Amino acid sequence: MASLSEEVLLVVKKVRQRKQDGTLYLMAERIAWGPEGKDRFTVSHLYADIRCQKISPDGKAKVQLQLVLHTGESTTFHFANESSALKDREAAKELLQQLLPKFKKKANKELEEKNRMLQEDPVLFQLYKDLVVSQVISAEEFWANRLGGVNNTDPTLFNNKQEVGISGAFLADIRPQTDGCNGLRYNLTADIIESIFRTYPAVKQKYSENVPHNLTEKEFWTRFFQSHYFHRDRINTGTQDIFSECAKQDEKGLKSLVVQGVKNPLVDLLSLEDKTLDEGYGVSTTQPSTSNANRTVKESSNYAIIKRFNHHSAMVLAAGSRKGETPADQASETSSTDGNSRDSDFFQPPVKKVKLQEAIEYEDLQRENRPKTVALNLKKSDRYAHGPVPLQSQQYTTSQDIINSVNYIRHEMANYKPNLTQVVSSTAASSAIVALSPGGVLMQAGAQQAINQMVPSEVQGELKHLYVAAGELLRHFWSCFPVNTPFLEEKVIKMKSNLERFQMTKLCPFQDKIQRQYLSTNLTGHLEEMLQTAYNKFHIWQTRRMMRKT
């Protein structure tokens, strides 16, 4: 067989795929199937590619196992061995169940991250293509700086991928199905288990305490579904139930939340009433006493449901925001540890003030606070962007000044008398005109303005890419200075050669190309200038180093 060097964990014979008999192999890293009598695999999936497995219900005539891949494709195996089909399937399923999660975790997280970054950022993708694919720099180099930079400089940007919350109805998704003979089946997926753990840390704790030493995983979940804990309307009866402790813990958590009180004074029902009537006064609508003594069974079960719903929602909400809120939590803890709620009075007013202000605000009665501005209405926006810029800042501060100077110029112009004896020579004049015409020496600033008319868009695009790539390389280069470690020395030398290679492989062909198209070569002038500056810097640095060494 093809790769016998692989460790084969399980071999199941008489497995049909696409109506063909064959053998199923479960190996260390992949699952494979080959038709009978041939020694090659027609189906082979890496475990890492598999999203989940599905099995046919127990009662069905066909015993099947389906693999769903990340790509959305699926492969179905039919276990055809009459006598042991079910057993075979179970064995395969069990093994897969153990293997798949391992590979899921192993699935290269970093690669995913890189992939995501490239997908999300087309500029980066282009850069990647320009630099890595064309082998200007190696992929590691590219990523080392990229990932590290993202991680170090802007952690929020890196983390701001929103955490996915938990569906409020995850328990509802576990629909029990009757299996025909007075039993119930619950389908649990890894997601649901994760949800349960995140929402109810107490269950997670129980799980880690009991599984696998006391119970198997299956037993644990069976008990979970049997417990009153899961069925919120059932009242705590058995004490042998391992989840009764969870319920107690929940109760405690709920209580502590209640005792903690609320931060927003506007929703604090306890302090809403200013002066409660003393006991015995008022028209009492005889409050049903809250003690459990005279509640009927139904009432207390209803009460339990209501409590559990509040708790569940609170937990789901907390699970969703737990990560992001840690710093805030700490802050609030420090304020609450300062003493009882009364002493934290000093902390209270800000929240309270803000809430009160919010409550009395009528946004539409107020004039908008910003000073009124006139929208800038540009007829030609590029004229605005590239218009003549005064070389040195003039002191035309007030409009009066401007008007004065305009008047002055007008006055001057009116009184202008050409002094014909002192005019410039015609050659000087014509050269000045040439210099001031588009394309002339003095009008080069204007050349850029024309680039979008003069240069075809594909060249423009290419130029843009070159700029980005050069910028990236130069960034690497300049980030090495000041060179104070051997590592940086090494890097700066490498970067220099990278720059040179870039110039050779990318810039020069581009220059040739535009030359061939008779475009003005100074398109790349700035790029070259930048590179030259970098080379100069490098030379200065190198000569200095040499001098120090000698």
Partner 1 sequence: MKLNIEGLLVYFPYDYIYPEQYSYMLELKRTLDAKGHGVLEMPSGTGKTISLLSLIIAYQRAFPLEVTKLIYCSRTVPEIEKVIEELRKLMEFYSKETGESNNFLALALSSRKNLCIHPEVSSLRFGKEVDGKCHSLTASYIRAQRHSNPNLPVCRFYEEFDAVGRQVPLPPGVYNLDDLKDFGRRKGWCPYYLARYSILHANIVVYSYHYLLDPKIADLVSKELAKKSVVVFDEAHNIDNVCIDSMSVNITRRTLDRCQNNVDTLQNTIHKIKETDAAKLREEYRRLVEGLKEANVARETDIYLANPVLPDEILQEAVPGTIRTAEHFVGFLRRFLEYLKSRLRVQHVVQESAPQFLKDIFDKVCIDRKPLRFCAERLQSLLRTLEIADIADFSAVTLISNFATLVSTYSQGFTIIIEPFEDRTPTIANPVLHFSCMDPSIAIKPVFQRFQSVIITSGTLSPLDIYPRILDFRPVTMASFTMTLARTCLCPLIVGRGNDQVALSSKFETREDFAVIRNYGNLLLEMSAIVPDGIVAFFTSYVYMENIVASWYEQGILENIQRNKLIFIETQDAAETSMALEKYQEACENGRGAILLSVARGKVSEGIDFVHHFGRAVIMFGVPYVYTQSRILKARLEYLRDQFQIRENDFLTFDAMRHAAQCVGRAIRGKTDYGLMIFADKRYARADKRGKLPRWIQEHINDGSLNLTVDEAVQLAKHFLRQMAQPFRQEDQLGLSLLTLEQLQSEEMLQKITQIAHQT
CA atoms within 13 A on the CB side of 68: 6
User: How far apart, in whole angstroms, are the C-alpha atoms of residue 190 and residue 178?
Assistant: 22
User: Residue 14 is inside which H or E element, if any?
Assistant: strand 8-17
Chain positions 146 to 165 lying near partner 1, rule: CB under 8 A, are 165
Give the shortest CB-161-to-partner 1 separation in angstroms.
16
The structure tokens listed for 29 are: 């890293």
Judged by CB under 8 A, the number of residues near partner 1 is 75
- Taking the CB of residue 208, how many other CB atoms lie within 10 A of it? 9
User: How far apart, in whole angstroms, are the C-alpha atoms of residue 530 and residue 547?
Assistant: 26
Give the shortest CB-329-to-partner 1 separation in angstroms.
13
Among positions 144, 277, 328, 403, the unique one binding partner 1 when judged by CB under 8 A: 277
Give the shortest CB-86-to-partner 1 separation in angstroms.
32
Among positions 1, 11, 272, 441, the unique one binding partner 1 when judged by CB under 8 A: 272
Nearer to partner 1 among residue 367 and residue 379 (C-beta): 367
Chain positions 235 to 264 lying near partner 1, rule: CB under 8 A, are 254, 257-259, 261-264
Chain positions 73 to 112 lying near partner 1, rule: CB under 8 A, are none
Among positions 313, 334, 405, 543, the unique one binding partner 1 when judged by CB under 8 A: 313
Nearer to partner 1 among residue 30 and residue 232 (C-beta): 232
User: How far apart, in whole angstroms, are the C-alpha atoms of residue 221 and residue 227?
Assistant: 10
Distances (CA, A) of 296 to 227, 239, 354: 22, 21, 45
371 near partner 1 (CB under 8 A): no
User: How far apart, in whole angstroms, are the C-alpha atoms of residue 537 and residue 481?
Assistant: 10
Q: Looking at 41-49, 234-242, 290-298, 447-455, which segment touches partner 1 (CB under 8 A)?
A: 290-298
Among positions 283, 385, 391, 414, the unique one binding partner 1 when judged by CB under 8 A: 283
Nearer to partner 1 among residue 278 and residue 412 (C-beta): 278
Chain positions 483 to 542 lying near partner 1, rule: CB under 8 A, are none
Closest CA to 53 of 90, 12, 15: 90
Give the shortest CB-289-to-partner 1 separation in angstroms.
10
337 near partner 1 (CB under 8 A): no
3-class DSSP state of 506? helix
Chain positions 404 to 463 lying near partner 1, rule: CB under 8 A, are none
Q: Omega before 212 cis (within 30°)? A: yes
Tell me whether residue 337 is exposed, middle or buried, using C-beta atoms within 10 angstroms of its C-beta: 0 to 12, 13 to 18, 19 or more.
Answer: exposed
Nearer to partner 1 among residue 154 and residue 345 (C-beta): 345
Do residues 48 and 31 touch, judged by C-beta distance below 8 A? Answer: no
Chain positions 462 to 481 lying near partner 1, rule: CB under 8 A, are none
Nearer to partner 1 among residue 301 and residue 520 (C-beta): 301
Among positions 13, 228, 307, 537, the unique one binding partner 1 when judged by CB under 8 A: 307
Nearer to partner 1 among residue 16 and residue 311 (C-beta): 311
Among positions 9, 123, 306, 429, the unique one binding partner 1 when judged by CB under 8 A: 306
Give the shortest CB-414-to-partner 1 separation in angstroms.
47
User: How far apart, in whole angstroms, are the C-alpha atoms of residue 223 and residue 169?
Assistant: 21
User: How far apart, in whole angstroms, are the C-alpha atoms of residue 209 and residue 404?
Assistant: 88
Nearer to partner 1 among residue 359 and residue 389 (C-beta): 359
Q: Looking at 118-126, 134-142, 308-316, 396-404, which segment touches partner 1 (CB under 8 A)?
A: 308-316
Largest CA distance in the chain: 121
- Taking the CB of residue 237, how many other CB atoms lie within 10 A of it? 8
- In order, the DSSP letters of 153-187 are H-HHHHHTSPPP---TTHHHHS--EE-SSS-EE--
390 DSSP β-pair partners? none
60 near partner 1 (CB under 8 A): no
Q: Looking at 215-223, 317-325, 411-419, 440-448, which segment touches partner 1 (CB under 8 A)?
A: 317-325
Among positions 177, 187, 310, 437, the unique one binding partner 1 when judged by CB under 8 A: 310
51 near partner 1 (CB under 8 A): no
Among positions 343, 401, 490, 512, the unique one binding partner 1 when judged by CB under 8 A: 343
Q: Where are the beta strands (DSSP E) in 381-448?
A: none
287 near partner 1 (CB under 8 A): yes
User: How far apart, in whole angstroms, are the C-alpha atoms of residue 325 and residue 263?
Assistant: 15
Among positions 156, 182, 237, 284, the unique one binding partner 1 when judged by CB under 8 A: 284
Torsion of CA 336, 339, 343, 347, to 10 degrees: -30
Chain positions 168 to 207 lying near partner 1, rule: CB under 8 A, are 168-169, 171-172
Tell me whether residue 50 is exposed, middle or buried, using C-beta atoms within 10 angstroms of its C-beta: 0 to 12, 13 to 18, 19 or more.
Answer: buried
Among positions 364, 379, 391, 420, the unique one binding partner 1 when judged by CB under 8 A: 364
Give the shortest CB-181-to-partner 1 separation in angstroms.
23
Give the shortest CB-362-to-partner 1 separation in angstroms.
6
Give the shortest CB-238-to-partner 1 separation in angstroms.
21
Nearer to partner 1 among residue 22 and residue 320 (C-beta): 320
Tell me whether residue 145 is exposed, middle or buried, using C-beta atoms within 10 angstroms of its C-beta: 0 to 12, 13 to 18, 19 or more.
Answer: middle
Torsion of CA 500, 503, 505, 509, to 10 degrees: -160
Nearer to partner 1 among residue 16 and residue 312 (C-beta): 312
Give the shortest CB-283-to-partner 1 separation in angstroms.
5
294 near partner 1 (CB under 8 A): yes
Q: How far from the centroid of its chain's Cα atoms is residue 130's Cα?
A: 25
User: How far apart, in whole angstroms, are the C-alpha atoms of residue 229 and residue 236?
Assistant: 8
User: Residue 32 is inside which H or E element, if any?
Assistant: strand 30-35
Chain positions 2 to 21 lying near partner 1, rule: CB under 8 A, are none
